[in-house]
Chain A
Amino acid sequence: MRALLAILRKDLTIEGRARELAPSMAVLALLLLTAGSASGMVNAAPAMLWITLLVAASLGLARSFHQELDQDQLSALVLAPINPVLIYVGKGIANLLVMIAVEGVTLFAFTILYNVGVPREPGALALVLLLGTAGIVMLGTLLGAMVAVARTREVLLPVLLLPLAVPLLVAAVRATEKVLAGQGIAAVSSEVGVLASFALLFGAAPVVLFEFVVRE
């Protein structure tokens, strides 16, 4: 637990001082939303929102492990007498917090540019957003560790993330669509089921697989 908190604090401190990930992700997200709104995607607002979040995440998460390689810090972390999964969990929570911050900005702009009001059940929207974001971050953090050493990581991460995230995308877009149209949580139960299963799968898979990704 102490190791986990230390890793989390380290990652948040780095992000707080360097401000590398969150601002670039947020600006990219705003640009995508603007481009979509300007080119008439207002009718497909939920799809635009989730594609924006996925692309912004894939940009940021490609860098999240790369910064560890600078002075071979990743090897140092892996050598530390802690369970390597903690590295993943710590990194994942840090990424989740960064992503939620980015999402705050994104949702604000989304409301204005796509003329979206507060839905009748804000809790349902919050649940969909949280599950979807958690799924993206859990999968993206694992992939980020995997592509960190590749020359072409900035291209490779979206190429890997987007197809694997298709179930999440489909379910999140449909659920957001329904909730924004005023439907309640009961109407989106199967979509929430897909989102929860996705988060569960990619929360559990790294517990077994992460070690193989970082081990020398």
Chain B
Amino acid sequence: MILPVLAALLVATGVFLALRVAPVEAFQGEPYRILYIHVPSVVASYVAFTVTFVASVLYLWKRERRFDRVAYASAEIGQVFLTMVLLTGPIWGKPVWGTWWTWDARLTTALILWFIFAGYLMVRAWSGAQGTRTAAVIAIIGFLDIPLIHWSARLLRTLHPRPAVFRPEGPDLPSSMLMILMVNMAAFLLMYLALLRVRLGQERLRDRLLEERAL
């Protein structure tokens, strides 16, 4: 119980710091504050999908149900965070780059990853008990595909030159901003853990229910 409360408190603190305490960025003005939501969401979703990948490998290898539960729960939460990334990104991009979307390597990778895990969740929804191994295989090949997506998207860049404001290494953050970003990062990761625990509990319960019904 302590984990969700702590996560909620930290997220609220993070949002407050981002909106009220963080200094205005000289170059971009107020819109930059979405950074404090956008970047932690990216980190949380990529952590979540990495957990799904590792759990999927372990599930195929050890054949233990608990790994499959972790993979499923983590993928779902990862998809929620990635959806937030894809929504906040364009909102930030429009005022700063002058466009909602550009086929930059990282944007492309995030979008395609969203589609891959949409397929993953559809398999889980439609294939029942047989779908668990299929889903694990999708998570694995999807994860292995990421470097290739990134590589191929870099070929696109010559077709679509980047707006001058876009800096691949990100803005150099002064420590006042970096601290607040770190708070938000911690808050989002804590929120991920809290949600993961809730979803795992539900999945465990479902498995137990199915077992007892089978008896």
Return the 9 tightest CB-CB contacts between A and B, nearest first. Answer: A163-B115, A167-B152, A167-B148, A170-B152, A160-B119, A146-B134, A150-B127, A163-B116, A159-B119
**A residues in contact (CB < 8 Å) with B:** 139, 142, 146-147, 149-152, 156, 159-160, 162-164, 166-168, 170-171, 174, 190-191, 194, 197-198, 201-202, 205, 209, 212-213, 215
**A166-B149 in contact given A156-B122, A209-B141 (Cβ < 8 Å):** yes
Number of residue pairs spanning A and B whose beta carbons lie under 8 angstroms apart: 89
Asked if B175 is at the interface of the complex by the 8 Å CB criterion, the answer is: no
**A205-B151 in contact given A150-B123, A150-B131 (Cβ < 8 Å):** no
A190 contacts which chain B residues (CB < 8 A)?
Answer: 155
Task: Please give the number of chain B residues whose Cβ is less than 8 angstroms from any Cβ of chain A in the complex.
Answer: 30
Question: How many Å lie between the Cα of A20 and that of B60 in the bound state?
Answer: 34
Contact call A205/B144, Cβ cutoff below 8 A: yes
Question: How many Å lie between the Cα of A194 and that of B150 in the bound state?
Answer: 10
Question: How many Å lie between the Cα of A139 and that of B148 in the bound state?
Answer: 14
**A194-B127 in contact given A201-B144, A209-B140 (Cβ < 8 Å):** no
Contact call B156/A170, Cβ cutoff below 8 A: yes
Contact call A202/B141, Cβ cutoff below 8 A: yes
Question: How many Å lie between the Cα of A159 and that of B142 in the bound state?
Answer: 13
What are 20 A-B interface contacts by the 8 Å CB criterion? A146-B123, A146-B134, A146-B138, A147-B134, A150-B131, A151-B126, A156-B123, A160-B119, A163-B116, A164-B141, A164-B145, A167-B149, A167-B151, A167-B153, A170-B152, A190-B155, A201-B144, A202-B141, A209-B141, A213-B134
